[in-house]
Structure 1
Amino acid sequence: MNTSKNQSLPLIGWREYLALPTLGVTKIKAKIDTGAKTSALHAFNVKIVEKDNQNIVEFEIHPIQKDNQTSIFTTAPLLEYRTVKNSGGIAETRPVIETKIILGNISWAIALTLTNRDSMGFRMLLGRDAVKNRFLVDTGNSFLHHSIT
């Protein structure tokens, strides 16, 4: 039997509800995507503005799947631009922000790329960099953490 230190990590399902409190998102359904290195958040009307000698990203989020009416306007400091391959394998250069995330009773900071995910099934992907050394993913289950209301 192979024993690992990772066996003490909490389990999450292949999709979970989480919160992004610094962005004003109290609940968003995310797909846990270990095939994606970086996490991605649906964003539109993305603008880079300069405030106090710092680049700030202004953007809107549709936090509810299949709902294009409910939107949240928010801002975050721009960390960098990162080139990532989208689901079609095409390279895109996206703005990257860092934000606090809450999944169940665990909170930590992650990097998020911003991209338009209107045509995708999930408004957010939680990539492997965000879950590495924090969780084990149970691909046969969903919504194992229900503490977000």
Structure 2
Amino acid sequence: MPTSSLLVIGWQERVDLPLLGLTNLRAKIDTGARTSALHATDIEEFDRDGEHWVRFHTRFDDDAHDTDVECRIHDRREITNTSGVPEVRIVIRTKFRIAGRLWTIDLSLAERTEMKFRMIVGRTALRRHKIVVHPGKRNLTTSMSLTKPHTRNAS
């Protein structure tokens, strides 16, 4: 694979979750984590048109208010938390964008209020997308991004 086709990102980047209406989110790129995680509180499950859905609140450091999100539940998985304790989490599937590249990822929902980063991008989300993580740099893709500060889409 030619190195020119690789995207080099830092250990911290700004990313978008456009289907959830969330843009310019500060995320930690964590290749030590298998699964990506998104901060979620007040998680409620419900049925819509015969499918299992979830409603939750999320808040990011530079956000003055909670953002309400609703989406279809993709799966439930046992995921080891940062303390090494396995827990069953709801997993959603959504679009992920970094440096203008867009693809689908799975995100587990976890309460991350006490964590420095409200979103973790794990190695499974990066696999097969020609990405290299530079552990000594951060925000390498910020100038490549055309995003605005994160907001809930008015759709």
What TM-score do the two structures reach when normalised by structure 2? 0.88
After the TM superposition, which segments of 4 or more aligned residues of structure 1 sit over 6 Å from their partners? Answer: none
Match of 2:105, SS? strand
Amino acid in the other structure paired with 1:12:
I
1:20-39 map, 5 Å: 20-39=17-36
What's the offset of the Cα at 1:27?
Answer: 1.7
Alpha-carbon separation, structure 1, partners of 2:107 and 2:15: 14
Amino acid in the other structure paired with 1:9:
L
- Which residue is equivalent to 1:57? 54
Provide structure 2 residue ranges, at least 5 long, that are not aligned to the other structure.
149-155
Q: Check if 1:124 corresponds to 2:95.
A: no
Number of residue-to-residue matches in the alignment: 143
Q: Check if 1:13 corresponds to 2:15.
A: no
Check conservation: 1:40, 1:112, Cα contact below 8 A. Answer: yes
Q: 1:139 aligns with which of 135, 141, 148?
A: 135
Deviations 1:89-119 (A, max 9, x none): 0111100000111111101110000000000
Q: 1:99 aligns with which of 94, 101, 112?
A: 94
Alpha-carbon separation, structure 2, partners of 1:66 and 1:116: 17
Provide structure 1 residue ranges, at least 5 long, that are not aligned to the other structure.
none
Q: Say what the alpha-carbon RMSD is for the aligned residues.
A: 1.3
Query: CA separation of 1:38/1:6 partners in 2, compared to 1, >3 Å: closer, same or farther?
Result: farther
- Which residue is equivalent to 2:153? none
Match of 1:79, SS? strand
Match of 2:125, SS? helix
What's the offset of the Cα at 1:6?
Answer: 6.4
Amino acid in the other structure paired with 1:106:
R
What TM-score do the two structures reach when normalised by structure 1? 0.91
- Which residue is equivalent to 2:106? 111
